[in-house]
Amino acid sequence: MALMKYLREAWKKPDKETLRERMIEWRKDGLITPVEKPLRLDRARALGYKAKKGVIVVRVKLIREGHKRPRPNKGRRSKRLHIRLNLSMNYKEIAEQRVARKYPNCEIVGSYWIGKDGMHYFYEVILADRSAPTIKTDKELGYLSKPANKKRAFRGKTSSGRKARGLRNSPVKAPKVRPSLRANKRRGN
């Protein structure tokens, strides 16, 4: 068996004590922390990670009630000041968008779950610098430097964004998600 297969098997049932110790350290870090190497190398490689210049890995810490919209403190407000839940996005997509805001010169390649505790979710997000010459000449990651792939995380073009938009289902099960929900609504069923 190859190394990646062993890594994949190990992450199916991770060692709880080791993970708990790591999360205690991660809680002390900031919300978005750059890391040297990916924790789940098998998952990162499958998503497109390469150990080369222009590829960055960051760890994201999300509070588990992260779907809540902030309460308005000034300006026009709703009548009851509701803290609505934004359930059209999943935690992974929220994490990707926060990282995309922090690193505006990079594009999201992919992300994966690395742990959760009582308060937080932890994800690792892989980024590629779209202007780096090593990325522009790369066969697999070169598409990120094209103008059509700018701001992928905000347009629901990443893997988790496509899942939240319902594009993983077949057209028979989810007929109104293609070409988009808004386009289908405009069509006037």
Tokens coding 148: 């059509």
Kindly list the domain boundaries of the chain, sorted by start residue: 3-71+80-187
- The pLDDT of residue 163: 87
Residue holding tokens 């999360």? 23
CA atoms within 13 Å, Cβ hemisphere of 135: 22
pLDDT at 139 over 70: yes
147-150-154 Cα angle (round to 5)? 155
Query: How many other C-beta atoms are found inside a 10 Å radius of the C-beta of residue 64?
Result: 12
Q: What are 131's two structure tokens?
A: 């202007």
Task: Work out the mean pLDDT of the chain and round it to a whole number.
Answer: 89
Whether residue 1 has pLDDT greater than 70: no
Rounded to 5°, the CA angle 179-180-185 comes to 110
Q: What pLDDT is recorded for position 43? A: 93
Cα–Cα separations (whole angstroms), residue 77 to 72, 74, 87: 6, 7, 21
Fold that domain 3-71+80-187 belongs to in CATH: Ribosomal protein L15e (3.40.1120)
Q: Would the pLDDT of 161 be above 60?
A: yes
Mean pLDDT on 23-35: 95
pLDDT of residue 111: 96
List, for residues 79-89, the tens digit of each pLDDT value: 777 777 777 78
Can you tell me the distance from the alpha carbon of 177 to that of 160, in angstroms, rounded to the nearest whole number? 15
- Quote the pLDDT of residue 89: 84
96's tokens: 């990707």
In order of 6, 9, 15, 45, 73, the CA distances from 1 in angstroms are 7, 11, 21, 17, 57
